[in-house]
Structure 1
Amino acid sequence: MAPTAAHSCRLVLSLLISAAVLRPGLGLYTVNSVYGETIVMPCRLEVPQTLMFGKWKYEKPDGSPVFIAFRSSTRKHVQYDEVPEYKDRLSLSENYTLSISHARISDEKRFVCMLVTEDNVFEAPTVVKVFKQPSKPEIVNKAQFLETEQLKKLGDCVSKDSYPDVNITWYRNGKILDPSEDMVTALRRQVDPATQLSTVTSSLTYKTTKNDIKIPFTCSVTYYGPSGQKTIHSDQAFFDIYYPTEKVTIQVLPPKNAIKEGDNITLKCLGNGNPPPEEFLFYLPGQSEGIRSSNTYILTDVRRNATGDYKCSLTDEKSMIAATTITVHYLDLSLNPSGEVTKQIGDALPVTCTISSSRNATVVWLKDNTKLRSRPSFSSLQYQDAGNYVCETNLQEVEGLKKRESLTLIVEGKPQIKMTKKTDPNGLSKTITCHVEGFPKPAVQWTITGSGSVINQTEESPYVNGRYYSKIIISPEENVTLTCTAENQLERTVNSLNVSAISIPEQDEADDISDENKEKVNDQAKLIVGIVVGLLLAALVAGIVYWLYMKKSKTASKHVNKDLGNMEENKKLEENNHKTEA
């Protein structure tokens, strides 16, 4: 028993001495750990061959030790002291490395590794530092809007669950906001008693300007971790900037150059402030008093007299005003005559299309949907002049502004008839044609002399420009007379043509003779008549000369040869008789 007691005394003495003695050459060693993870602290001492056991302790703030783990070198036995805050969190390895799971802020202490031999106690201190990365900073309690030239709280930048203390910095458009009279920050820290983690809040009071419109604001938190200093940035935050109206503008819908009579006009007044003004005063042309309205004022079914200057202003600052000029485009068209007009062939008809417009207008004439090259003018109406005429005009600059008036011209005329006949080259038939002209279309009826019967087997041409023909083919065995009757609402016209029997040759008449050919035929007829008249005059002169000569001869030879004279006279009488028969 004596040796054991002596040994125990020496051990206690050694422990007491070792509380103040450190192994030469060893200083403070720091272990940086992350909150919630495992703290690993190597002993940092060489294990002596005569080691009896190893032991770990930590020091309280007052310097008193608290033993937490023991390991025997001979029995390989590990024992953990009854320390509540480290219950089930400690692990001591064979090389006397101490591990503490689920690191806490309270684990920030000075720990000491102790290796004990029979002759000495060796110690190696380790300082534990615990770090907790803060949450991503967030801008909360954001102002709904900021007003220019007013110092107003912009928001709070909050960073939670950090250790140790952190710093918060504000940024405008990516640049640090330096403290000034236009910016005030306030920092608050709140520590959770259970976890000892901090929540840091920085409030920013800021005087905004119009330059902050659509500019992002952010904040960052700077903290220290096991590997050094780091920074985390918040998401961007944008703020609605309120500022007073500095300018008023007026808009016109539809666009000013496209307004025409009958349109609805919307005047829209805008102020460049934020929020924009909700009420304005609208001034109509010639009115000095404004009409209070929202930012729009509507005019319906405008007329040309609505052309003029329109203005709008703020209700509380009438000098801030905007103006615009509106032209209401118009287009008038008058066609004279118009509608349905009935005239007689050969009549004159003046036609006028009068345009009145706010701008130069283009005029187009159409006849039966075909564009005419010029305005129609009728000094002597013909059947081909009849039709549907349209005078159309529009303003190219104004969509939809178009006018048109129409004239339906009817040209009437009494029936006119011309009959022609033509013999077949074989001499077996004759074609009789009745050329008819008139409007409304005359109805044609054929009759033949003798029986007076109506001939139905006829052939008609198309009715074009008031003209057409009706023809029949006959083979008369005796001379007949064909009658063509043409009748419309104006008059009944009759014409007849004698047609000889098919065995009697007769001269055909031309089917149709143009005006030019008529003139040539008349010239030829005049020439023939002139030649015939000249020949007759020459024969007359020759006859007179011959008569005078014969009279003289008769007087001279009256008594010479009476019988011879009688024979000559008989001969002349006989010649004259032959001429008469011929």
Structure 2
Amino acid sequence: MALCSRVLCLLLLSSFRHVASDRVKVSLPNVVEVRKGDDAIINCSFTIPGQANYTYLHWLYEKNGRVNIYYVGQDRQYAYDTEFKDRIHVADNFTLYISEVTLQDERTFVCQIGAGSAGFGENRTELRVYKSPDPPDITVNEVGILVTDEETPKIARCETKNGHPVPNITWYKNKYPLHQGNKEVNIATTVIKESSGLYTVSSTLHSRLSKDDKDAFFYCEVNYRLPGKDLMMESERVNVTIFYPMENVSLIVESPSRPVTEGDNVGLRCKGDGNPAPEYTFYRVWESEDRKEMEEEIKEARDGLLMFESVRRNASGHYRCRALDLNFVVSLQADTMLSVNYLDPIQMSRESPVELNFGDNTTIVCSTMGSQPSAIQWQWEEQVIAIGPLLNLSSVDYKSGGQYSCVVTMPGVPGLNASKGVTVVVKGQPLVSVSRHLVQVVQNDVLNVTCEAFGYPAPEITWSVNGSVVHKREKHPVSSELSVQVTKELLRSGIKCSATNSLGRGEELITLQEVTVTTRPTITSTGEPVKKEQKRAESKGVLIVAIIVCILAIAVLGAVLYFLYKKGKIPCGHSGKQEITKPGKQQEDIVVEMKSDKAPEETELLPGPTGEKPLPGDQGEKYIDLRN
């Protein structure tokens, strides 16, 4: 019955609001959002049918009833004595302004318009006040979690304060959200409203974890709203300590080089995969004479690491690590072999220096010992001359002397090598050589010659003549340079280079052959005649060049004319000049005119076909018969 009465009242009220709205229509936004401390602006607009005008405006709020807060009439307006009296005013367009909004201002506001006989109308809006919460604070379980716990352990707690309205907290594991609703995850959330009206929200995450979660990270996300937008904040990432039993243990060799060589700093690292880390014990293992396995504890190990500083070969052997997990009562062990590679110093069958006589034969043996097979080669002047431990030298001469190196490498151990040198000295009397045995020279010139001498002990070089001498005593050979002026006596005697040492003497003779140099005599004089002679010589040179050019031009012209004549392009006849002809020949032959640049009196007359000489007027011209 009560329900029917309530429904009837609602129907009557809606009918009343509909009738009123047909007369005066009032428009307000459904919701007005504002941040705490900002100013709220609530717009109110209305329409009145016909020509009627409004008579009053009331702003009021609904909270445990209706309370008027502002009145606007035709001739006056004022604020009612309420909590809003000093913080509100209404503009000419009937907009309500509330300054410095507080959380307590959050309520429903009503704008009511009266229009006399037209009736009245009203509408309402909801004022919502927002305050962003503080950044989330996350605390992780510092005790750690045992994966064998039957209860769902606490992972972390997240808290955010001073938010309005109530913010929401979401948990994440490795960027994936966690949701309440299964046995593995349990989330407990608490909301506290402070006296200020702000909210503090805390959330505690409980979840089962496994060994695979040892590197997982957790964080919480706070979701909240401000006017016109939804926002979020994330906490820092945290990792929870997980305790799980050891399942495997390993023992590895840590070394800067592979394989290990003598002198390296080597460590044996024992590591179990449980947490917390187990206790480690190291042992040296060997086999007794009755083939029983024996082990001896090594006390020097620390935190699962056994170090060998500058390891030696006697550290090679069998090692064992035993790991004991006291939390889960698990014991495991691992073994490894440590092999320290080495290469002993090289031994020579003959110590340096090895002294040999000229023409001797010898063999030098290079040997060494190592942890693995080695490769040996002999080098001389950085060139490989023999493979293997033997260096065979036969019929040695002075060029056989020098520094030989035995180089030993271990192919199975890169970088492990050794070398040793031996000096071979070939003894004998000096062997002399000169730069040239026969030298062509010019008397009074300065001659430079070189003499070299091989031999041991190192020979001394002397010259048969006096001059400027430069000696060069390098390792081998000894050399000397002589600079001397060529004289008649030197031409007769030649130059002798001699070298001596305690075992003998050697010499070489340089024979000199004189070469005669012919020079064109020069005639010189002083004064002006010299200049005239130079001018005359220059004129003759120019004349010779001109004659050569003319002859070449005439030859080319003759060839062209002859070619044209053969082709029948040129009809030839008398040209007023006397032709050079032979009896029985036709008169179609080509006649080439040659003019001499000599004076008439210097020109030799060319006789005509009858033996006559040409007339004096023709003496400056010559004709050459080109018919043949």
TM-score range for the pair, normalised by the shorter chain length: 0.5 to 0.7
- Of 328, 333, 351, the match for 1:321: 333
Aligned mates of 2:31, 2:241 — CA distance in 1: 47
Aligned mates of 1:125, 1:462 — CA distance in 2: 122
**Residue aligning to 1:544:** none
Deviations 1:404-424, CA, capped at 9 Å, x for gaps: 22222233347899xxxx999
Aligned mates of 1:192, 1:313 — CA distance in 2: 58
* Residue 207 (structure 1) shift: 3.1
* Residue 166 (structure 1) shift: 4.2
SS at match of 1:106: helix
Taking a change above 3 Å as real, the CA distance of residues 54 and 397 of structure 1, as seen in their structure-2 partners, is: same
* Residue 215 (structure 1) shift: 4.0
Aligned mates of 2:176, 2:431 — CA distance in 1: 101
* Residue 239 (structure 1) shift: 1.3
Aligned mates of 2:476, 2:14 — CA distance in 1: 140
Aligned mates of 1:123, 1:92 — CA distance in 2: 18
Deviations 1:385-441, CA, capped at 9 Å, x for gaps: 333222111224535422222222233347899xxxx999xxxxxxxxxx9996435
Matched ranges for 1:125-144 at <5 A:
126=124, 128-132=126-130, 134-135=132-133, 138-144=136-142
**Residue aligning to 1:302:** 311
Aligned mates of 1:81, 1:179 — CA distance in 2: 53
Taking a change above 3 Å as real, the CA distance of residues 100 and 266 of structure 1, as seen in their structure-2 partners, is: same
Taking a change above 3 Å as real, the CA distance of residues 198 and 33 of structure 1, as seen in their structure-2 partners, is: farther
Deviations 1:457-493, CA, capped at 9 Å, x for gaps: 6999999999999xxxxx99xxxxxxx9996445x78
* Residue 381 (structure 1) shift: 4.8
Identical positions, percent: 25
Deviations 1:184-229, CA, capped at 9 Å, x for gaps: 32222222323x232222222333334435545343445577779x
**Residue aligning to 1:234:** 234
Deviations 1:145-178, CA, capped at 9 Å, x for gaps: 8535254433333344444444433233233333
* Residue 59 (structure 1) shift: 4.4
Matched ranges for 1:480-519 at <5 A:
488-489=501-502
Matched ranges for 1:58-73 at <5 A:
58-61=61-64, 63=65, 65-73=66-74
Taking a change above 3 Å as real, the CA distance of residues 87 and 335 of structure 1, as seen in their structure-2 partners, is: same
Greater CA deviation, 347-356 or 316-325? 316-325
Task: Kindly indicate whether the alpha-carbon contact (under 8 Å) linking 2:162 and 2:200 is maintained by their aligned counterparts in 1.
Answer: yes
**Residue aligning to 1:408:** 423
**Residue aligning to 1:270:** 271
Task: Kindly indicate whether the alpha-carbon contact (under 8 Å) linking 1:282 and 1:311 is maintained by their aligned counterparts in 2.
Answer: yes
SS at match of 2:340: coil
Task: Kindly indicate whether the alpha-carbon contact (under 8 Å) linking 1:70 and 1:78 is maintained by their aligned counterparts in 2.
Answer: yes
**Residue aligning to 2:195:** 193
Taking a change above 3 Å as real, the CA distance of residues 124 and 43 of structure 1, as seen in their structure-2 partners, is: farther
Matched ranges for 1:306-385 at <5 A:
306-316=315-325, 319-332=331-344, 333-345=346-358, 347-373=360-386, 375-378=390-393, 381-385=396-400
* Residue 285 (structure 1) shift: 4.7
Matched ranges for 1:383-532 at <5 A:
383-413=398-428, 439-441=456-458, 488-489=501-502
* Residue 337 (structure 1) shift: 0.7
Deviations 1:364-383, CA, capped at 9 Å, x for gaps: 21235443145432455544
* Residue 86 (structure 1) shift: 0.3
SS at match of 2:104: helix
* Residue 316 (structure 1) shift: 4.5
SS at match of 1:288: strand
Letter of the 2:297 counterpart = E
Aligned mates of 2:471, 2:231 — CA distance in 1: 105
Taking a change above 3 Å as real, the CA distance of residues 129 and 442 of structure 1, as seen in their structure-2 partners, is: closer
**Residue aligning to 1:49:** 52
* Residue 44 (structure 1) shift: 5.1
Letter of the 2:52 counterpart = Q
Taking a change above 3 Å as real, the CA distance of residues 243 and 397 of structure 1, as seen in their structure-2 partners, is: farther
Letter of the 2:410 counterpart = L
* Residue 78 (structure 1) shift: 0.7
SS at match of 2:391: coil
**Residue aligning to 2:88:** 90
Aligned mates of 1:168, 1:437 — CA distance in 2: 99
Aligned mates of 1:301, 1:275 — CA distance in 2: 32
Task: Kindly indicate whether the alpha-carbon contact (under 8 Å) linking 1:137 and 1:232 is maintained by their aligned counterparts in 2.
Answer: no
Task: Kindly indicate whether the alpha-carbon contact (under 8 Å) linking 1:160 and 1:198 is maintained by their aligned counterparts in 2.
Answer: yes
Q: What TM-score comes out, normalization by structure 2 length?
A: 0.57
* Residue 90 (structure 1) shift: 2.2
SS at match of 2:321: strand
Matched ranges for 1:277-292 at <5 A:
280-286=280-286, 287-291=295-299, 292=301
Aligned mates of 1:130, 1:238 — CA distance in 2: 36
Aligned mates of 2:413, 2:100 — CA distance in 1: 82
Taking a change above 3 Å as real, the CA distance of residues 340 and 104 of structure 1, as seen in their structure-2 partners, is: same
Aligned mates of 1:231, 1:54 — CA distance in 2: 38
Task: Kindly indicate whether the alpha-carbon contact (under 8 Å) linking 1:110 and 1:125 is maintained by their aligned counterparts in 2.
Answer: no
User: Are 1:207 and 2:208 an aligned pair?
Assistant: yes
Task: Kindly indicate whether the alpha-carbon contact (under 8 Å) linking 1:146 and 1:239 is maintained by their aligned counterparts in 2.
Answer: no
Taking a change above 3 Å as real, the CA distance of residues 436 and 187 of structure 1, as seen in their structure-2 partners, is: closer
SS at match of 2:413: coil
Greater CA deviation, 350-359 or 173-182? 173-182
SS at match of 2:314: helix
* Residue 132 (structure 1) shift: 1.8
User: Are 1:80 and 2:89 an aligned pair?
Assistant: no
Task: Kindly indicate whether the alpha-carbon contact (under 8 Å) linking 1:148 and 1:210 is maintained by their aligned counterparts in 2.
Answer: no
Taking a change above 3 Å as real, the CA distance of residues 136 and 26 of structure 1, as seen in their structure-2 partners, is: farther
Q: Which runs of 5+ in 1 are unaligned?
A: 1-18, 425-434, 447-454, 470-474, 477-483, 496-582
Aligned mates of 2:470, 2:18 — CA distance in 1: 145
Aligned mates of 2:462, 2:45 — CA distance in 1: 144
Aligned mates of 2:226, 2:209 — CA distance in 1: 36
Taking a change above 3 Å as real, the CA distance of residues 388 and 107 of structure 1, as seen in their structure-2 partners, is: closer
SS at match of 1:212: helix
Q: What is the root-mean-square deviation of aligned Cα atoms in Å?
A: 5.0
**Residue aligning to 2:567:** none
Matched ranges for 1:86-235 at <5 A:
86-94=84-92, 96-115=94-113, 122=120, 124=122, 126=124, 128-132=126-130, 134-135=132-133, 138-144=136-142, 146-149=144-147, 151-172=152-173, 173-194=175-196, 196-221=197-222, 230=230, 232-235=232-235
Taking a change above 3 Å as real, the CA distance of residues 467 and 204 of structure 1, as seen in their structure-2 partners, is: closer
Task: Kindly indicate whether the alpha-carbon contact (under 8 Å) linking 1:443 and 1:487 is maintained by their aligned counterparts in 2.
Answer: yes
SS at match of 1:376: strand
Letter of the 2:239 counterpart = F
Aligned mates of 1:53, 1:352 — CA distance in 2: 128
**Residue aligning to 1:3:** none
* Residue 140 (structure 1) shift: 2.1
* Residue 336 (structure 1) shift: 0.6
* Residue 51 (structure 1) shift: 5.4
**Residue aligning to 2:621:** none
Taking a change above 3 Å as real, the CA distance of residues 373 and 119 of structure 1, as seen in their structure-2 partners, is: closer
